[in-house]
Structure 1
Amino acid sequence: MYVLIFAAAAALVQSPVAASVVKPGTISIVAADRPTTSPAITKTFTDAVQRTLLRTAFLPLPDADHSLYVAKVEVSQTQRGVVRSGTDRSDRPGMAAGLGGLSLTLPSGKDQLHGLIVTRLEVTVSLRRDNHVVWTGQATTVRASGTRTGEPSAVAAVLSDALLRWFPRQLPGPLSVP
């Protein structure tokens, strides 16, 4: 019994993230070293992370050479099929075709196919002086592209808000955001 408790305590102490206490201070937000999305998408997400951090006890600075912490933002997007979207069929006008007593409503063509995009945001916060990781978190969502909720700025805001709501507390694991 004591061996299990000692092993658990040793694992906790050896974890670089769990052993760190993140105190409020200045923080710079930077893109990952090798971005996996376009520069525009990466900037949208780094800006969203900065806006979210403004609501915390951490002060974002534009220059990574003068902050206490550096938050590295990594974004990935993958298309996983398509989804059909449109208005509700019950209130949508259609074209009726009738043969005797049979009536058939034809679609009006307002449905559209949109790519189903899986977006993952990962933020890693480290001390600037020695690159020691003090906090890390991941959040993922799936949205239809070309829709209001699937716009990169909307996805960035939702993911950064959900993820950084935890900061500086450690997350129990990756977040899935509806």
Structure 2
Amino acid sequence: MPFPLITPVIDRRCLMYVLLFAAAAALVQSSVAGSVVKPGTIAIVAADSPTTSPAITKTFKDAVQRTLLRTPFLPLPDANHSLYIAKVEVSQTQRGVVRSGDDRSDKPGIAAGFGGLSLTLPSGKDQLHGLIVTRLEVTVSLRRDNHVVWTGQATTVRPSGTRTGAPSVVATALSDALLTWFPRQLPGPLSVP
């Protein structure tokens, strides 16, 4: 008879661990279910950032507000009367330079014509542009108790001084990509081309 008393003891311990694990999983599931973000009013505020200029912060706040207007959440100008508060945090860091041609289509190149064939040649004015890493983080919390119900981050890298690197274009691209997920939880930080 191969140790009949040991087998029930091992089974009880395993059962105890399984029950503890199941209880922990139930607690996690109930807290996630309790943090479902329901449509309502939302105020957009800027996070304190001494390194970001007020003009850039305002550009990103405005972009987040425009994006939220396409959701079932109604942006309010006063944070004292909204159900939610969306805190917008922007950071920009230069990470080297990139050599690129001028991407503005309003500047003509050199045109050359050969019979019925027309060819536009580049003007040869390559420029160095700072490569800017921009990160947008939006944290949504309940106004009444500051309980965070949603958070997301999106990052892009674009050359400064170009059409695609303009602050308003970058702000729109990041807020649109990020808030497309809202109020669903993101799988992780987003990288935006």
TM-score range, shorter chain: 0.7 to 0.9
Which protein has the larger Cα radius of gyration, Structure 1 or Structure 2?
2
Structure 2 counterparts to residues 32-71 of structure 1, below 5 A: 32-71=47-86
Of stretches 62-71 and 4-13 in structure 1, the one that deviates more from structure 2 is 4-13
Q: Whose RCO is larger (CA < 8 A, sep 6+)?
A: 1
Which AA in structure 2 matches 1:173? G
Kindly indicate whether the alpha-carbon contact (under 8 Å) linking 1:28 and 1:67 is maintained by their aligned counterparts in 2. yes
Cα deviation digits, residues 57-93 of structure 1 (max 9, x gap): 00000000000000000000000000000169xxx76
Count matched residues.
Answer: 160
Distance 1:49 1:35 in 2: 20
Shift of 1:149: 0.3
Cross-structure match for 1:111: 126
Larger helix fraction of residues: 2
Cross-structure match for 1:151: 166
Which AA in structure 1 matches 2:41? T
Kindly indicate whether the alpha-carbon contact (under 8 Å) linking 1:35 and 1:75 is maintained by their aligned counterparts in 2. no
Cross-structure match for 1:172: 187
Structure 2 counterparts to residues 1-178 of structure 1, below 5 A: 2=18, 4=21, 6-11=23-28, 19-86=34-101, 109-178=124-193
User: CA-atom RMSD, angstroms?
Assistant: 2.3
Cα deviation digits, residues 19-69 of structure 1 (max 9, x gap): 411000000000003353100000000000000000000000000000000
Distance 2:84 2:102 in 1: 46
Kindly indicate whether the alpha-carbon contact (under 8 Å) linking 2:155 and 2:174 is maintained by their aligned counterparts in 1. yes
Kindly indicate whether the alpha-carbon contact (under 8 Å) linking 2:93 and 2:134 is maintained by their aligned counterparts in 1. yes
Distance 1:30 1:41 in 2: 13
Identity %: 82
Of stretches 117-126 and 29-38 in structure 1, the one that deviates more from structure 2 is 29-38
Which AA in structure 1 matches 2:169? A
Tell me, what secondary structure is at the counterpart of 2:58?
helix
Which AA in structure 2 matches 1:23? K
Off by >6 Å, runs of 4+ in structure 1: none
Cross-structure match for 2:14: none
Kindly indicate whether the alpha-carbon contact (under 8 Å) linking 1:35 and 1:74 is maintained by their aligned counterparts in 2. no
Kindly indicate whether the alpha-carbon contact (under 8 Å) linking 1:36 and 1:75 is maintained by their aligned counterparts in 2. no
* Unpaired stretches in structure 2, ≥5 consecutive residues: 1-16, 104-108, 111-121
- What's the TM-score once normalised by structure 1's chain length? 0.81
